[in-house]
Amino acid sequence: MRYTERLSSKDKKQLTGLVKRSENARVRQRAQAVILSSRKYSIEDISKIFEVDRDSVSSWITKWGESRFDGLYDDPKSGRPPVKIDKIKKK
């Protein structure tokens, strides 16, 4: 089994803040997964909780280990940026 290392109190506080306040649902989910992993929840258990493939959870845990908080965010994508809903409603 693979888990994240024990979290420092500072990391735990920042992760909990992201879970509660991040506007990005993916970041909230990944931060919660890291917290659960540090509590020794298995990748299989976390994948069931979030209803995602276990490879996704494994990737989140790996990225956390490599990049810490930066690893919680999606990599930049190429192509046209998405149009914000507010701009569509104003037309």
Kindly tell me the burial class for residue 12, based on how many C-beta atoms sit within 10 Å of its own C-beta (0-12, 13-18, 19 or more). Answer: middle
Q: Where are the domains of the chain?
A: 9-72
pLDDT at 76: 79
Of 3-17, 30-44, 76-90, the poorest mean pLDDT is in 76-90
pLDDT at 6: 82
Largest CA distance in the chain: 53
Residues 46-91: tens digit of each pLDDT? 999 999 999 999 999 999 999 999 999 988 778 887 777 765 555 5
| Distance between CA atoms of residues 64 and 67, nearest Å | 5
| Distance between CA atoms of residues 24 and 4, nearest Å | 22
DSSP 39: T
pLDDT at 30: 95
The pTM of the whole model exceeds 0.85: no
Number of residues assigned to the chain: 91
